[in-house]
Chains A and B, each alone.
Chain A
Amino acid sequence: AQSVTQLGSHVSVSEGALVLLRCNYSSSVPPYLFWYVQYPNQGLQLLLKYTSAATLVKGINGFEAEFKKSETSFHLTKPSAHMSDAAEYFCAVISQGGKLIFGQGTELSVKP
C-alpha cells in the first residue's frame, strides 16, 4: 500500500534562508507524488506534482522538488524563504485505488 511520511511537524527558517521540507514515500508501483500548501484558514492548493516525466519538478512560488527513487524521497525546497511562505505543507501520493494519501503535514514558520 502507498503511504507518505513527512519528517518534522514544524520547521522554522529565517527569511532568505533555504527551505527544506522532507517527504519519504512507500509504494510498490511507480508513484505519482504531490505537494500541497495550505495558508491559514484556507483550502489546499497544489504546489507541484511528480508524474515520472522529470525527476526535478518546478512548482509555483519558486518551490521545487526532486524525486529520488533510491532514497524513496520527494523533498520540497526553495532557495530563499519569504514571509509569505509561512503555511502548512502536505506531501501526498496516489494510491492504487486512485485516491490521494496525505502525510501528516509540516508547518513552516518564517522569521524576519
Chain B
Amino acid sequence: NAGVTQTPKFQVLKTGQSMTLQCAQDMNHNSMYWYRQDPGMGLRLIYYSASEGTTDKGEVPNGYNVSRLNKREFSLRLESAAPSQTSVYFCAVGVSGIYNEQFFGPGTRLTVL
C-alpha cells in the first residue's frame, strides 16, 4: 500500500501561472485535507473534504480551489500563483471516527518566483 501519494514533489512557478497539486490515497478513508507548512507557523489547513462530493474551507483558503474527484483523489489548484504561496503543501487522510488521526503524504515543495 502506498498510503497517501502526492505529485509533483517539487515545482517552480512564475507569478500568475496556474497549477494543480494531486493527492491520492489507497486507505479507503472518507476525509482528506490540504495543508500548507511555513517556517515557524506549523501546518495550516487550506481546504478539507469530509467525503466524496463535499469540500469546505479551512483556515487559509484564499487563492486556492479544490476538487474531490472521487473517494481516492483530492486535488488543490492555484489559479494565479503568487510569491506568498511559496510553501510546502501536504495532503492528509483522516481515519474515520472521533479521534480523526491523520496520515500525511510526502509533500510538494512549491516555489513561486
Interfacial residues, chain A to chain B (CB-CB below 8 A): 9, 32, 34, 36, 41-46, 49, 51, 90, 94, 98-100, 102-105
Interfacial residues, chain B to chain A (CB-CB below 8 A): 4, 33, 40-45, 48, 58, 90, 92, 98-107
Which B residues are CB-close (under 8 A) to A94?
99-100
**Which residue on chain B has the smallest CB distance to residue A43?**
B104
Q: Which of A32, A98, A103 has the most CB of B within 10 A?
A: A98
- A67 CB to closest chain B CB, in angstroms? 14
A90–B43 touching, CB < 8 Å = yes
A46 in contact with B101 given A90-B43, A104-B42 (CB within 8 Å) = yes
Which A residues are CB-close (under 8 A) to B105?
43
Which A residues are CB-close (under 8 A) to B42?
90, 102-105
3 closest Cβ contacts across the A-B interface?
A43-B104, A102-B42, A44-B104
How many pairs, one residue from A and one from B, have CB atoms within 8 Å of each other in the complex?
Answer: 50
- A29 CB to closest chain B CB, in angstroms? 12
Some 20 contacts from A to B, beta carbons below 8 A apart, are A32-B98, A32-B99, A32-B100, A36-B104, A42-B106, A42-B107, A43-B106, A44-B90, A46-B102, A46-B103, A98-B100, A99-B45, A99-B48, A99-B58, A100-B43, A100-B45, A100-B100, A102-B44, A104-B41, A104-B42
Which A residues are CB-close (under 8 A) to B92?
44
- B6 CB to closest chain A CB, in angstroms? 8
**Which residue on chain B has the smallest CB distance to residue A100?**
B102
- A12 CB to closest chain B CB, in angstroms? 17
What is the CA–CA distance of A104 and B41 in the complex, to the nearest angstrom?
5
**Which residue on chain A has the smallest CB distance to residue B106?**
A43
**Which residue on chain A has the smallest CB distance to residue B102?**
A100
B99–A51 touching, CB < 8 Å = yes
Which B residues are CB-close (under 8 A) to A49?
99, 101
**Which residue on chain A has the smallest CB distance to residue B6?**
A43
- A4 CB to closest chain B CB, in angstroms? 9
Which B residues are CB-close (under 8 A) to A104?
40-42
Which A residues are CB-close (under 8 A) to B44?
102
Which A residues are CB-close (under 8 A) to B103?
46
